Amino acid sequence: MTAVQSARLLIVGPQGSGKGTQGIRIADAFGVPAISTGDMFRAAVASGSDLGTQVTAIIQAGDLVPDELTSAVVADRLSQPDAASGFLLDGYPRNLGQVADLDAFLTGRGEELDAVIELVVPREESIERLTQRAAEQGRADDTEQVIANRLAIYERETAPILDVYRGRGIVDEIDGVGTLDEITDRVIAALERRGLMRSAAA
């Protein structure tokens, strides 16, 4: 397979899988920005743009940002110069509607995702990690039942997305149990097998 210099990636995993940490590490390794929905919303709000104003009003009302607006914020972020040669998305797309929006945006630029990294962590492991984190951070409302409910939502909403990407042959299932370095090495090895090249600066 011919090596390519760009890396357009999506990282997916249940709460407690460590995808935020791994996403930053992988993005650094391949020289692309790690972009999470939370970061995008905060940047949009801080920019004072029309999009940011809309997001602010929705968040202040305690509502979820609708797909159409979320996709517009993502498209705006991916249009920034630092994402021209690649990116790593974390938290988007999270449903089939957002998959279609991302496809349309990338197709319009003659691009497509290179790989979807799925961090596979047993449910019991996720619950244990999240319960421990809640205890360390003093978050009494993060009970085991609340955590289990969140994981159920992830399983229900994310499975169809992964099925779409599996059909395209771009999902790499990565064992998400181990040390940070072990997991990072597994992801990098899987991406390199796809012909994606690490950044020379990494």
- Kindly tell me if the per-residue pLDDT of 189 is higher than 70: yes
The answer to whether residue 179 is domain-embedded is: yes
What would the mean pLDDT of 118-133 be, rounded to a whole number? 91
Please confirm, yes or no, whether 25 is among the known catalytic residues: no
Annotated catalytic residue, options 123, 133, 194, 198: 133
In a domain, 30, yes or no: yes
What pLDDT sits at residue 52? Answer: 87
Residue 8 appears among annotated catalytic residues? no
- pLDDT of amino acid 5: 63
Q: Is the pLDDT of residue 2 over 50?
A: no
168 is catalytic: no
Q: Is residue 199 part of a domain?
A: no
Mean per-residue pLDDT for 177-181?
95
Q: 178 Cβ partners below 8 Å, 6+ apart?
A: 186
The verdict on residue 146 lying in a domain is: yes
| Residue 23 domain boundaries | 7-193
3-state SS record for 111-151: CCCCEEEEEECCHHHHHHHHHHHHHHHCCCCCCHHHHHHHH
For residue 182, what pLDDT is reported? 98
Residue with more model confidence, 62 or 157: 157
Number of structural domains found in the chain: 1
CATH of the domain at 83: 3.40.50.300
The one catalytic residue in 94, 123, 194, 198 is 94
- Specify whether 19 is catalytic: yes
pTM: 0.88
| Residue 201 located in a structural domain | no
Taking residues 168-181, report their average pLDDT.
97
Per-residue pLDDT at 63: 80
| 53 located within any domain | yes
| 2: in domain | no
Which tops the pLDDT comparison, 154 or 22? 22
118 belongs to a structural domain:
yes
CB atoms within 10 A of CB 22: 24
In the annotation, is 156 catalytic?
no
Residue 4 has pLDDT above 60, yes or no: no
pLDDT-derived band at 3 (thresholds 50, 70, 90) equals very low
